[in-house]
Structure 1
Amino acid sequence: MTERLATAGDVPLVLTIRGGLPENVHRGRICVVSADNRKIVEAYGDADAAAFIRSAGKPLQAIGPLLGGVAEAYDWEDRHLAMLAASHRGFPAQVEALDEMRKKAGIPEEAFAFRAGAPINAKSRDEWARDGESPRKLYHTCAGKHLGMLAWSKLSGWPLEGYTRIDHPAQKQVVRHIRSWTNTDENDSAFGRDGCGLPAAAVPLRSIALAYARLACLDTAPAAASTEAAGRVAQAMNRHPELVEGQGRLASLLLADPNIVAKSGAQGLFAIGLRRERLGIAIHVSDGSEMPWALIAIALLKRLGGVSAQTMASLEARYPSEYVNDTGDVAGHKETLF
């Protein structure tokens, strides 16, 4: 597994041009997988090399808590389920939903394993600073999935302390669900530490694409018991797209389209599932940049379909191929190379 990570086999994906000259080349890998036969439909770079799924794995990490009955036990609504899969930016609606979840489940804020901080979103952070508010653990971008695991542990009678360790009962089940949905085992998956402290799965890029194909096409889910839970979180993401990430974020724009389930990871990973087309897409930009995601996604969706004209217009308006400098003049443009 370590060997596969070291030889990722990436290829040029996106070029930025300034003054008619190449300025940056963003390399990486893309894999498109069919939900029906689990075969690769299209790939650029080494689709068998591993990538850390990071926050794109949150819908899979939510399966265990939902199977464990947290929504029913704590009266969590649909928007709360969206927060289980969220990488939130600290917008008021996101923090409000998290605080409601925490209070309903009776989870003290100090139980979260990570340290307290400020909102990620600049406007929310400015308001936070202006109002003289204190750092909170709920402002952490991964607070939703942690809250799901803490509430699940409380409901199951497991210790809250140590809930992020891979040998904790909650994490043992999370690992099982991730391996099931990505069709991997201990031979082709590995676990490191995520930025929030939880185990971070590394699996072949094609396996991430497969997982999102399955999230989009639940009739191909690997286990009947987890199908309903996965469907609940995916539908909640579609019903509350701006809670999942935030206004203007690529995943939230895509999730506004009912045909799409999408989520960003970190360090260059992005995943998309297309329901009608029955496809899963995994994108990994090797330098960890988020900038190429939208250009790559737009190019793929124009070719593969799956996105409404309204959604495509929103994407192109938010992420134009041209970029401007601080005076408002066009400074250059970006183009795909695959």
Structure 2
Amino acid sequence: MTNPAPLCEIWRGPLAESLHMGHAVICDDTGQIVEAWGDPEATILPRSSAKMLQALPLIESGAAKARGLTSEQLALACASHNGATIHTERVNQWIADLGLSDDDFRCGAHLPFGKAESEAIIRSGESPCQVHNNCSGKHAGFLTLTQYMGWGPDYVDPDHPLQKAALQAFEEVTGEASPGFGIDGCSAPNFATTMHGMARAMARFASAHDGGDARQTAAVQLWQAMVKHPELVAGETRACTELMRACTEPVALKTGAEGFFIAIIPGRKLGVAVKAADGATRAAECTIAALLVRLGVLEGDHPATRKVMNAPIRNWRGIETGMVKPVANLLS
């Protein structure tokens, strides 16, 4: 990855023991870069941070309105959820309302992220279902659009009309032709763009106006659903959920695998994209929190902030041995 910059340091006692490098870009409503660290033109896979972009055709097509989707369902369409009961019950009801079942998903099954839910499945001797997949809300959205349009069932195929619609929306909002894709953990294509392109897309969400064209209306509905239901976007103990609750004004946040994170800040008409070059979640969470503090939408001493930024590291006896902290120039 070309020219990454220092983003996050791991301190032990008096020494910076480790260093996470990466890229971060802040864009305004014109799509121009306000500030950047690392290489804004680095090509990346935004992973689950792109779910809002993938959900745009669900609303623009009229499928969401025709099926009466609620703000909770739109939040789940953007979610990487814990697989807790509040998530699985809602997704199961959603697909049941479509006359579909778990077998219609194409995301695969994994144990819930939530410890209690995961342990309950293990103790029962049962296996997780596809609804437990953190992307099942996104796939429920895919199924909704596929059914509404009368398309075939293999909606994760890159040549499927749904994925072609998702790619068109992705390229239009990022303002760039995608150079390709990788297959995500949930089997759907994940389209590549640049750091600048992803930050530009988030700024377009942030500056969209409800009642404007179909694209802007869809963008507003999606970020508002995320802010209204932070517990559905991720879940308890997760950075997305806790930082959205902690922000002093509406901010939509979304993590992605391999150290990606985005922020949509409507009050400032700003979009933010972060990528830890080594894929470390702790680096992406620390960096996004630092940038939110820098932009004045998050208090540095809030407990949610302190869980990921200037977060204490403790050993097995509970002794504080160091901390995870942003590099100085992220905050000043």
Q: Give the TM-score, by structure 2 length.
A: 0.92
Pick from 12, 17, 38 the counterpart of residue 45 of structure 1: 38
Q: Which runs of 5+ in 1 are unaligned?
A: 1-6
Say if 2:195 is the partner of 1:230.
no
- Cross-structure match for 1:336: 326
- Cross-structure match for 2:291: 300
Pick from 163, 166, 181 the counterpart of residue 174 of structure 1: 166
Say if 2:221 is the partner of 1:209.
no
Moved more, 60-69 or 205-214: 60-69
Q: Indicate if the aligned counterparts of 1:107 and 1:151 stay in contact, CA closer than 8 A.
A: no
Say if 2:276 is the partner of 1:282.
no
Residue 236 of structure 2 aligns to which amino acid in structure 1?
Q
Q: Indicate if the aligned counterparts of 1:212 and 1:261 stay in contact, CA closer than 8 A.
A: no
Per-residue CA deviation, residues 231-267 of structure 1 (Å, 9 max, x unaligned), is 1121111111011001121211233345211100110
Q: Which runs of 5+ in 2 are unaligned?
A: none
Per-residue CA deviation, residues 9-47 of structure 1 (Å, 9 max, x unaligned), is 212211112132332111101111111x21111111111
Pick from 229, 235, 254 the counterpart of residue 240 of structure 1: 229
Q: In 1, Cα distance between the equivalents of 2:203 and 2:18?
A: 31
Q: In 2, Cα distance between the equivalents of 1:130 and 1:254?
A: 32
Say if 2:58 is the partner of 1:65.
yes
Question: What's the CA shift for 1:312?
Answer: 5.8
Question: What's the CA shift for 1:334?
Answer: 2.5
Residue 175 of structure 2 aligns to which amino acid in structure 1?
N
Pick from 151, 156, 164 the counterpart of residue 164 of structure 1: 156
CA 1:194 to 1:122, structure 2 compared with 1: closer, same or farther past 3 Å?
same
**Matched position secondary structure for 1:271:** strand
- Cross-structure match for 2:239: 250
Per-residue CA deviation, residues 67-88 of structure 1 (Å, 9 max, x unaligned), is 2333333333221111100101
Q: In 1, Cα distance between the equivalents of 2:72 and 2:63?
A: 14
Pick from 234, 237, 253 the counterpart of residue 262 of structure 1: 253
Pick from 119, 134, 137 the counterpart of residue 144 of structure 1: 137
Q: In 2, Cα distance between the equivalents of 1:69 and 1:312?
A: 43
Q: Indicate if the aligned counterparts of 2:209 and 2:217 stay in contact, CA closer than 8 A.
A: no
Residue 237 of structure 1 aligns to which amino acid in structure 2?
M
Q: In 2, Cα distance between the equivalents of 1:135 and 1:248?
A: 21
Residue 199 of structure 1 aligns to which amino acid in structure 2?
P
- Cross-structure match for 1:4: none
Moved more, 168-177 or 10-19: 10-19
Moved more, 99-108 or 123-132: 123-132
Q: Indicate if the aligned counterparts of 2:80 and 2:134 stay in contact, CA closer than 8 A.
A: yes
Within-5 A mapping of 1:64-213: 64-160=57-153, 162-186=154-178, 189-213=179-203
Give identity over the alignment, percent: 31
Residue 192 of structure 2 aligns to which amino acid in structure 1?
A
Q: Indicate if the aligned counterparts of 2:46 and 2:192 stay in contact, CA closer than 8 A.
A: yes
Per-residue CA deviation, residues 41-64 of structure 1 (Å, 9 max, x unaligned), is 111111111111110110111111
Q: Indicate if the aligned counterparts of 1:298 and 1:312 stay in contact, CA closer than 8 A.
A: no
Question: What's the CA shift for 1:315?
Answer: 2.4
CA RMSD for the aligned pairs? Answer: 2.0
Per-residue CA deviation, residues 273-294 of structure 1 (Å, 9 max, x unaligned), is 2122221111100111110223
Pick from 10, 28, 38 the counterpart of residue 34 of structure 1: 28
Q: Indicate if the aligned counterparts of 1:253 and 1:314 stay in contact, CA closer than 8 A.
A: no
Question: What's the CA shift for 1:327?
Answer: 0.9
Residue 23 of structure 2 aligns to which amino acid in structure 1?
R
Q: Indicate if the aligned counterparts of 2:210 and 2:220 stay in contact, CA closer than 8 A.
A: no
Question: What's the CA shift for 1:220?
Answer: 11
Residue 326 of structure 2 aligns to which amino acid in structure 1?
T
